Amino acid sequence: MLASFRYNDGCVIARSAEAKALGIGMGAAYYKVRDEMRRQGVIARSSNYTLYADISNRVMRIMADMLPSIEVYSIDEAWGDMSGVADPAGLGRSIRERLAREIGMPVGVGISTTKTLAKLRVSEFLCNRLMSDTVAPNRRHHEQDATSHHRRAAGSAPGQLPES
């Protein structure tokens, strides 16, 4: 079980699924949850933004190398254009495998016809803890525009605990 803190000010900014299940809230002040964390064996760590940015840059470079184009959305998310990709799910698995092999970073990959639906695939995937599967599939019954040939991949990159 792990909780991470912003700078050294003691606000929780990331939690493992186990820490969340104990009721440790996002943004909670460390001094308010410290005793319970210690009783439950939760490990507290300060964040390392320099390392986080370095890992993010490496993840984005690999995604840029593997996809026709990417749009970096934030430090830990990017949209990949999969237009014309014959096997989007296969490419999603390849992205996950390469990132795990070269960086040691697990990521979620959601594939759909829009950014919003791709992001929903990733969120659903992570919430259900289906990390043994490799990609969150494009499920037609959720699609607003199932006839679109434009596919997007959403990647959750460095340090993203199954949280959001």
36 and 107, same domain (yes or no): no
Domain of 30, in residue numbers = 2-47
In degrees and rounded to multiples of 5, residue 78 shows phi and psi of -150, 150
145 shares its domain with 104 = yes
Reported as a single tens digit per residue, the pLDDT across 101-151 is 999 877 888 888 888 888 888 877 666 654 444 455 555 433 333 333 334
Residues 64, 119 share a domain: yes
- The predicted model scores a pTM of 0.66
Structural domain includes residue 164 = no
Q: What is the sign of the dihedral through the CA atoms of 53, 57, 62 and 67?
A: positive
Q: At what angle do helices 88-102 and 49-66 cross, to 10 degrees?
A: 140
| CA 150 to chain CA centroid, nearest Å | 22
**In contact, 121 and 112? CB cutoff 8 Å:** yes
CATH code of residue 125:
3.30.70.270
Question: In the annotation, is 77 catalytic?
Answer: yes
Of 18, 71, 77, 102, which one is the catalytic site residue?
77
Domain match, 102 and 149 both: yes
> For 24-68, what is each residue's pLDDT tens digit?
888 888 888 888 888 988 888 888 888 889 999 999 999 999 999
Check: CB of residue 58 under 8 Å from CB of residue 103.
Answer: yes
